[in-house]
Amino acid sequence: MELIVKNGTVATAADVYRADVGVAGGRVVAIGESLAPTNGTRVIDAAGRYVLPGGVDTHTHLDMPFGGTVTADDWASGTLAAACGGTTAIVDFCIPAKGQSLADALGIWHAKAAGKAAIDYGFHSVIVEMPDAIYEELPGLPGHGVTSFKLFMAYKGALMSDDWTLVRALKQAKAAGALVMVHAENGDAVYLLQNELIAAGRTAPKYHATSRPPRVEAEATARAIALAETIGAPLYVVHVSCGEALEEIERARARGVRVLAETCTQYLYFTEADLDRPDFEGAKWVFTPPLRPPHNRDLLWRALANGALQAVTSDQCSFNFKGQKELGRDDFTKIPNGGPGIEERLTMVYQGVNERKITLNRFVELVATGPARIFGLYPRKGTIAVGSDADLVVWNPEAEATITNGQLHHRVDYSLYEGMKVRGRPETVTLRGEVIVEGGRFVGAPGRGQFQPRAAFGG
């Protein structure tokens, strides 16, 4: 064996037990008591630590043009930051330019990632319009390892797609074994409210929330579900932010609709009040859907605990405060939507274990196993089992830290979590058996990440 992680407590979505983990050829080859090293075996002592599967973040936007600018983090900085936070695989959104084929867009996203990615990766194909050429292209995408299609029901005039596009995507996804994901907000209603607010001189960041009330999210969630139900296709709802949308999801599930959903770390910590921070600082918290009244945080934690939500992703979409968020100083609709969080995700969700909001198994399920399973990466990713990729995180549950942007590895000038005290940190991270983070320091290399073709949606 090339590597043995010894004396740790292995935690998966199902179990917590003391065992050594042996690695050869980039995979887990043995899990057991007192595994014996041979000549040349590297041994990592994980006494007093958990050994977790590497995090899987299935909602990231790296090197993405958006809101009149481009995300601050590219595939080098974004994946390096992810690794330092304990994430070993991401699935990023590949967005075609107007009139571009999905295959050409995938070629561009492959080029963005190649030579830069420090962890493994895949792509979701974004569908904005549905001319016949795109419709006919969809069945071929699983052959390229892309088994999820993403549609935005908001961002009118930019990424927003109409219901015709959505029903056709659902139909093709069903036939191809792919999963349709939706950003669920009624983009027309948002557009109307935005125009009214700006005309009334309400230009500050806090009006971002006013322009996108919970009902706008709930309406689109219910509509997407109804259309998926009509077609008989499964559906995945991204970044659920509020109780109103959750209600629609739970109601649909109760009548037998196959609907899966995630929330993102930031909705578990912040509220609409953060949008009103002084000196335009609220712009840092401008992401979509917007932050909500405080009771929604409890609803989301509860939904994570009871299974109503299946994943926590980062929705990493970083823009610098200086020069990028500032584009909207006089008009909140011009603030690029999105925030950083790819590195903080595991640590911040783990605080829910400390606070007994979720169990350790549920934590692993939400940040690794669930997203891997839903998006066709499991059991290669998302668990620790013989035959799985040796993507391992040695997690120190007692390590304490205060989050400061200077210690993070992303390439953006703030962290949403600045100054927060946390307990529980990733110490060592392996990617297919190769140590890429040691003592919290990145020791991997850009370009070591590999594209991961994903299996069909398994239900």
The residues that touch ligand URP, with contacts defined as CB under 6 A, are: 61, 183, 287-288, 315, 317, 337-338
Q: What is the DSSP letter of 368?
A: I
Task: Give the Å distances, CA to CA, from 447 to 119, 121, 389, 444.
Answer: 8, 11, 17, 9
Of 301, 294, 264, nearest to 416 (Cα)?
264
- Alpha helices of 365-442 — where are they, by DSSP H? 370-374
Q: 320 or 337: whose CB is closer to ligand URP?
A: 337
Q: Residue 274 interacts with Zn ion (CB under 5 A)?
A: no
Shortest separation between residue 67's beta carbon and ligand URP, angstroms = 8
Shortest separation between residue 154's beta carbon and Zn ion, angstroms = 7
Amino acid identity, residue 456? A
How far apart (Å, rounded) are the C-alpha atoms in residues 185 and 128? Answer: 15
How far apart (Å, rounded) are the C-alpha atoms in residues 347 and 327? Answer: 31
287 touches, from Zn ion, ligand URP, none (C-beta below 5 to 8 Å by class): ligand URP
In this structure, the dihedral spanned by the alpha carbons of residues 411, 412, 416 and 421, taken in order and rounded to 10 degrees, is 50
Shortest separation between residue 81's beta carbon and ligand URP, angstroms = 16
Q: 288 or 369: whose CB is closer to ligand URP?
A: 288
Helix (H) or strand (E) holding 43: strand 42-45
Shortest separation between residue 217's beta carbon and ligand URP, angstroms = 12
Pairing of strands 65-66, 148-152: unpaired
Q: 76 or 160: whose CB is closer to ligand URP?
A: 160
Handedness of CA 365, 264, 162, 112 (dihedral sign): negative
240 touches, from ligand URP, Zn ion, none (C-beta below 5 to 8 Å by class): none
Q: Residue 212 interacts with Zn ion (CB under 5 A)?
A: no
337 touches, from ligand URP, Zn ion, none (C-beta below 5 to 8 Å by class): ligand URP
88 touches, from Zn ion, ligand URP, none (C-beta below 5 to 8 Å by class): none
Give the footprint of Zn ion on residues 368-387 (CB under 5 A).
none
Q: 61 or 206: whose CB is closer to ligand URP?
A: 61
Q: 9 or 314: whose CB is closer to Zn ion?
A: 314
Q: What is the crossing angle of helices 214-231 and 243-254, to 10°? A: 20
Residue 153 makes CB contacts below 8 A (sequence gap 6+) with: 160, 161, 166, 182, 183, 184, 185, 186, 187, 220, 223, 224
Extended strands (E) in 174-304: 179-183, 235-237, 259-264
Task: Give the Å distances, CA to CA, from 279 to 17, 251, 324, 416.
Answer: 49, 41, 15, 16
How many C-beta atoms surround the C-beta of residue 140 within 10 A? 12
Shortest separation between residue 241's beta carbon and Zn ion, angstroms = 10
Q: Residue 410 interacts with Zn ion (CB under 5 A)?
A: no
Shortest separation between residue 391's beta carbon and ligand URP, angstroms = 25
Q: Residue 63 interacts with Zn ion (CB under 5 A)?
A: no
Q: 287 or 332: whose CB is closer to ligand URP?
A: 287
Structural contact between residues 364 and 11, judged by C-beta atoms closer than 8 angstroms: yes
Q: 289 or 426: whose CB is closer to ligand URP?
A: 289
Number of residues that bind Zn ion (CB under 5 A): 2
284 touches, from ligand URP, Zn ion, none (C-beta below 5 to 8 Å by class): none
Structural contact between residues 436 and 118, judged by C-beta atoms closer than 8 angstroms: yes
Shortest separation between residue 286's beta carbon and ligand URP, angstroms = 7
Shortest separation between residue 195's beta carbon and Zn ion, angstroms = 21
Q: 10 or 182: whose CB is closer to ligand URP?
A: 182
Give the footprint of Zn ion on residues 226-245 (CB under 5 A).
none
User: Which residue number places its CB atom closest to Zn ion?
Assistant: 183
Of 456, 440, 451, 433, nearest to 116 (Cα)?
451
Shortest separation between residue 132's beta carbon and Zn ion, angstroms = 27
Q: 73 or 315: whose CB is closer to ligand URP?
A: 315
Q: Residue 217 interacts with Zn ion (CB under 5 A)?
A: no
Q: 318 or 428: whose CB is closer to Zn ion?
A: 318
Q: Residue 315 interacts with Zn ion (CB under 5 A)?
A: yes
Give the footprint of Zn ion on residues 164-203 (CB under 5 A).
183
Shortest separation between residue 260's beta carbon and Zn ion, angstroms = 16
Handedness of CA 410, 412, 417, 420 (dihedral sign): positive
What does the longest C-alpha to C-alpha distance in the chain come to? 73
Site residues for Zn ion per CB under 5 A: 183, 315
